[in-house]
Structure 1
Amino acid sequence: MPHLESPPETRERLQQEAVAWHARLTSGAPEAADLGEFEAWRGQSPAHDQAYRRIESLWRQLELPLRADRKRRRLDEKSSRTKAWLRRSGAGLAAACAVLATALAFYPDYLFNSWADYHTRIGGRADVRLADGSLIHLNTDTALDVEMNGGERRVHLLRGEAEFEVAHDRSRPFRVQSGDTVTEALGTRFVVRYVRSAGVITLLQGRVRAAKLAPSGAFGAAVVLAPGESVTFDRRTLSEPQAADVSASSAWRRGRLIMNFVPLKQVIAEINRYRRGQIKLLDADLGEREINAAIDLGNVDAWLDALPATLPVHIRRAGPFVMIGS
C-alpha cells in the first residue's frame, strides 16, 4: 500500500520543492521549458502556489540586508580585480545567497544531518535497532554515527536527543560520546541530549557512568548516576548528579512536551526544536514569566491559539513564523 502523506509531510515537501524551483529560476536566465515546467508545478494546487509565494516573500525580506552587506564589502574591498569579479558575479551571487539563506532558515537539518549514519529531520522521530540488539529512539533534528568492534560499542551523538535501551554485553562496553563527554551504560536505559556543545544525561533505568575525555583520549573524573538522576555538561564541565523529572525528560517519546515552572522563553525555545517556522518572543519581560506547559507536539498551534486565554499575550503570524507580544 503506498504511503499517504500527512498534512505536515505535504507542507514540508512543497516547501522543499518551492526552494528548489526558486534556486533554479534565479540562478540564471531560465529557458522556456523551465518556465513551462515551473508553471505546471505551481498550477497543481493552491498549496503549490502558496508554498512558492512564501519563498518569494522570504527572498524579498532577505534582499535588503544582502544589499547592505554587499555595499559594505564593496567599500572594504581594495583589489580592483576582485571588484571587477564582484560586478560580474554580484547578481547571481545575491540570488544564490538569498535562496541559500531561505533554505537554511527552513532546512538547517538537511545541511547538518544528511551525512550521519542515522538522522531525523526537524519535527521527526525514528527508532533504530542496532546489530547487538540495542534500541535507539531518535528525537527531532538528531544525528548520530555508530561504531562497533570486538572491544566496544560506541555511538557518536552529533546533535539532538536520543533515548538508549542497551542490550547486555559484558565484553563490549556501550558508550555514547557527545563532544568530549562520554556516557557508559552499565545495563540501562537513558536519554542524552546534545545541542550547541552542551547537554544533559538523564537515567531512566539501571546505571550509567559519565566522564569527560582528556585531549589524549583518556577518561577523566567520572560520576555515576542512579535512576531518576541527571547531569549537565558543556565543553569544560560535568555537573554532579541531581534529581530529574523522568516523565518530562522522556515525554517526547509519547509525542508530548512537559515543562513545569519554567520561563516562557524556555518553553518557546523547546518548541522551536520541533518547528521549521520559528516562534519569536517580542517582549523580554514576558519571556521571563514562569508557566507550566503540557503540549501535544503534533499540534503545537492549538497550544499557541489557547495561550492568550492564560497569559496577556497577542499572537501574530507571518507565513510560517509566529510572533508573541504583550
Structure 2
Amino acid sequence: MTETHTAQHDTLRQQAVDWHLRLTSGNADAGVWAEFERWRQQPDHARAYRDVETLWQQLPQPLLADRRRRQAIAARQRRKGLLRRGLNLAAAASLLLAVLAGFYPDYLQHPLADYRTRIGEQTAIKLADGSIAYLNTDTAVDVTIGPNERRVELLHGEAEFEVAHDARPFRVTAGAVTTEALGTRFIVRYDGETGAVTLQQGTVRTSRPAARGAQTDSAVLQPGQQLTFNAETLDAPRAVDLSNADAWRRRRLLMNFVPLKQVVAEINRYRRSQIRLLDPKLGEREVNAAIDIQHIDAWLEALQQTLPIQVIHAGPWVFLRSWAHVSRNQSVR
C-alpha cells in the first residue's frame, strides 16, 4: 500500500467514524440522513462504514473476552480458541477507540451530559430560571433547577453564566470547587484537574472542602478578578483584563506577553488537528496574539511572516519550528 493510498484509507476511515457518531447521536434528522446516503454512494464508502459499524457492535465483546480469558487461565487455558478470538476483537476495538480518542475526544467524553459542545463549537442555553449559560468549545454541563437552589455542574470546558435574579442561590461546581452567586456574570473554566473563575459583574464566593478538621477554603471575588484552583488549593484572587477573559464570546483569542506554548495550547482547544512545537525553546518565546478563532490558519501564516518560525503541514497536523533550528540542521548536512 503506497503512502498516498494509506493516507486516503485513513481519511476515509475517519469520515466513516464521524458519520457513525453523527447517526447514532440521536440528533440526526432527515437532512443528515440524506447527506449520509450521498456520501455512502461514493466508491468504497459503504464498505468503510460497514467496517466501522461492525467494530462498534463488537466493542462490548473484548470486555467479555477478557473475563473469559481470566477464567480460561484459571482452568489451565482449556478454551484457547475463544481467548484468541477475544484478543483479536480487543485489538480491533482498540484501533477504533484510538481513532475516536485521537480525533474525536469530545464524542467520548461525558456523552450523557445535559448540554455539550463539540471541539470548535459554541452555543448559548437559556435555563429554566431565565439564566443564560454560554458554552465555549468542548464543554459539557449538567443542570438542576430545583425549588431550593439552581445548580450547574461544569463537567469539562468553559462557560460564562449570566445569572437571572432569583431568591434561590445559583451555584456552579467544577470538581470539588463551588462558586455561588446572586444576579451576576462570571466565567468558570475546568479541564478535569485545574480551573479558573473570572468575575465580570456582581459578587461571587468560591469555595472548596478543606482537609478534615480545617476550615472551608473560600474567597470572595470582585469584578475584574480571577481565581485559579486545582484539586488541593484555591489561589488568591488577582486582577485580569476582562476584555481578554471573555474574548472567546466574540470568537477571538487575545493574549498579551505569554509564552508561545500557552498560545498553542489555547488554540488546540478549538482544533481537532493539533498544533505541535518541534523546538521546546521556541515554546518559551513571549508573543502577543490576537486570533480569529474561525481563521486560525491565517494567523499561523502571519506568524511565520513576522517571526523566525516555520509552519509545517503534515496531513491533519501542524508543526512549528524555529528557522534557527532549520539552519542548524542544514549546516550539519
TM-score normalised to the size of structure 2?
Answer: 0.74
Query: SS at 2:183's partner residue?
Result: strand
1:164 corresponding residue in structure 2: 161
Partner AA of 2:133 in structure 1? I
2:103 corresponding residue in structure 1: 106
Is 1:284 matched with 2:280?
Answer: yes
Partner AA of 1:97 in structure 2? S
**CA deviation digits over 1:94-151, x for unaligned, max 9?**
2321121011111111111321011100000010001111011000000011112111
Q: Alpha-carbon deviation of 1:213?
A: 2.8
1:227–1:83 CA distance, 2 compared to 1 (3 A): farther
Alpha-carbon distance in structure 2 between the residues aligned to 1:268 and 1:127: 26
Partner AA of 1:166 in structure 2? V
1:5 corresponding residue in structure 2: none
Is 1:147 matched with 2:144?
Answer: yes
Alpha-carbon distance in structure 2 between the residues aligned to 1:103 and 1:111: 7
**CA deviation digits over 1:23-79, x for unaligned, max 9?**
9xxxxxxxxxxxxxx99846649xx98xx8xxx9xxxxxxxxxxxxxxxxxxxx997
Q: Alpha-carbon deviation of 1:88?
A: 2.9
Which structure ranks higher in relative contact order (CA pairs < 8 Å, sequence separation ≥ 6)? 1
- Unpaired runs of 5+ residues, structure 1, are 1-13, 24-37, 57-76
Q: Which deviates more from structure 2 when the two are superposed, residues 259-268 or residues 220-229?
A: 220-229
Alpha-carbon distance in structure 2 between the residues aligned to 1:201 and 1:160: 12
Question: What pairs up with 1:34-45 in 2 under 5 angstroms?
Answer: 41=39, 44=42
Partner AA of 1:318 in structure 2? A
Q: Please say if residues 150 and 171 of structure 2, whose CA atoms lie closer than 8 Å, have aligned partners that are also in contact.
A: yes
1:321 corresponding residue in structure 2: 317
Alpha-carbon distance in structure 1 between the residues aligned to 2:37 and 2:115: 36
Question: What pairs up with 1:55-74 in 2 under 5 angstroms?
Answer: none
1:274 corresponding residue in structure 2: 270
1:81–1:194 CA distance, 2 compared to 1 (3 A): farther
Q: Please say if residues 182 and 213 of structure 1, whose CA atoms lie closer than 8 Å, have aligned partners that are also in contact.
A: no
Alpha-carbon distance in structure 2 between the residues aligned to 1:250 and 1:229: 13
Query: SS at 2:236's partner residue?
Result: coil
1:39–1:175 CA distance, 2 compared to 1 (3 A): closer
1:198 corresponding residue in structure 2: 194
- Unpaired runs of 5+ residues, structure 2, are 1-11, 22-35, 53-72, 323-333
Alpha-carbon distance in structure 1 between the residues aligned to 2:199 and 2:294: 26
1:185–1:39 CA distance, 2 compared to 1 (3 A): closer
- Give the fraction of aligned pairs with identical amino acids, expressed as a percent: 57
1:9 corresponding residue in structure 2: none
Alpha-carbon distance in structure 1 between the residues aligned to 2:20 and 2:314: 20
1:22–1:190 CA distance, 2 compared to 1 (3 A): closer
Alpha-carbon distance in structure 1 between the residues aligned to 2:150 and 2:20: 44
Is 1:118 matched with 2:115?
Answer: yes
- Count of residues paired in the alignment: 271
Q: Please say if residues 155 and 192 of structure 2, whose CA atoms lie closer than 8 Å, have aligned partners that are also in contact.
A: no
Alpha-carbon distance in structure 2 between the residues aligned to 1:279 and 1:80: 47
1:231–1:39 CA distance, 2 compared to 1 (3 A): closer
**CA deviation digits over 1:235-292, x for unaligned, max 9?**
0101111001111110000000111111000100000100001111111000011100
1:132 corresponding residue in structure 2: 129
Is 1:265 matched with 2:261?
Answer: yes
Alpha-carbon distance in structure 1 between the residues aligned to 2:287 and 2:206: 31
1:19 corresponding residue in structure 2: 17
Q: Please say if residues 166 and 182 of structure 2, whose CA atoms lie closer than 8 Å, have aligned partners that are also in contact.
A: no
**CA deviation digits over 1:173-220, x for unaligned, max 9?**
00000011111113210000001321010001111111113589x982
1:309–1:15 CA distance, 2 compared to 1 (3 A): farther
Alpha-carbon distance in structure 2 between the residues aligned to 1:316 and 1:81: 53
CA RMSD of aligned residues (A): 3.0
Partner AA of 1:164 in structure 2? F
